[in-house]
Structure 1
Amino acid sequence: MASIVGSAVSFARPVKAINFNPVSFSGLRKDNVAFRLQPVPQRFAVCCSAKKETVDKVCDIVKKQLALADDTEVCGSSKFQDLGADSLDTVEIVMGLEEAFGISVEESSAQSIATVEDAANLIDELVTVKSS
């Protein structure tokens, strides 16, 4: 059985003056065409689950630790690497965040931090756990 995968298939009706045999059209007839529809996963992204105050404070700390100019834009999606941070700078940023927020970040968690959002999300989680 033949199958056609696509988003649109049209079957023209044969003109009565022409003797059209549906079987002669490459073996396909309207009653033996199969459509295979596959679900498309819905893509969504949470912008940032951290509090705005946390993100703003992390941005300030990152700017201070990296000695960035005042006109340098640092936002939630800013990657430390794009801001010029190397691995030592990232460690210093994490240490500054620990001091500012009164938390302790495990080494495995610190290695997963690549953006300001990552840091802010982790901080909010740690602060919530600490206050519980």
Structure 2
Amino acid sequence: MEFEKMRDIIVETLGCEPEQVTMEATLTDDLGADSLASVELVMALEEACGVHIDDADVANLKTVGDISAYLNSHKA
């Protein structure tokens, strides 16, 4: 998934500013995601990419870069 598309989904789901979304940004500390927002984000990314994100893997997705690497390694 292209960074811009992923960024747009993150901005829409978490309500943060686009310039806050960098590969190093953490979902909780930098972007303000709580547990509910994280679940919503995972669902939005799954729908947009057609990739299932295992619940066990969600805990390891702490930064935007983590999400990008996961999606790129699991794309259909």
TM-score when normalising by structure 2: 0.86
Deviating beyond 6 angstroms after TM superposition, the runs of 4 or more aligned structure 1 residues are none
Q: What secondary structure, in the 3-state scheme, does the structure 2 residue paired with 1:119 have?
A: helix
Q: AA paired with 1:93?
A: L
Aligned alpha-carbon RMSD (Å)? 1.6
Task: Tell me the residue number matched to 2:55.
Answer: 107
Please state how far the C-alpha of 1:69 moved relative to its aligned partner: 3.9
Distance 1:108 1:94 in 2: 12
Tell me, yes or no, if structure 1 residue 66 matches structure 2 residue 14. yes
Please state how far the C-alpha of 1:95 moved relative to its aligned partner: 0.6
Please state how far the C-alpha of 1:94 moved relative to its aligned partner: 0.7
User: How many aligned positions are there?
Assistant: 75
TM-score when normalising by structure 1: 0.52
* Structure label with greater radius of gyration: 1
1:59·1:76 contact (CA, 8 Å) conserved in 2? no
Q: Which structure has more helix as a fraction of its residues?
A: 2
Tell me, yes or no, if structure 1 residue 118 matches structure 2 residue 72. no
Point out where structure 2 has 5 or more consecutive residues left out of the alignment. Answer: none
The higher relative CO (CA closer than 8 Å, separation ≥ 6) is in: 2
Distance 2:68 2:38 in 1: 14
Point out where structure 1 has 5 or more consecutive residues left out of the alignment. Answer: 1-50
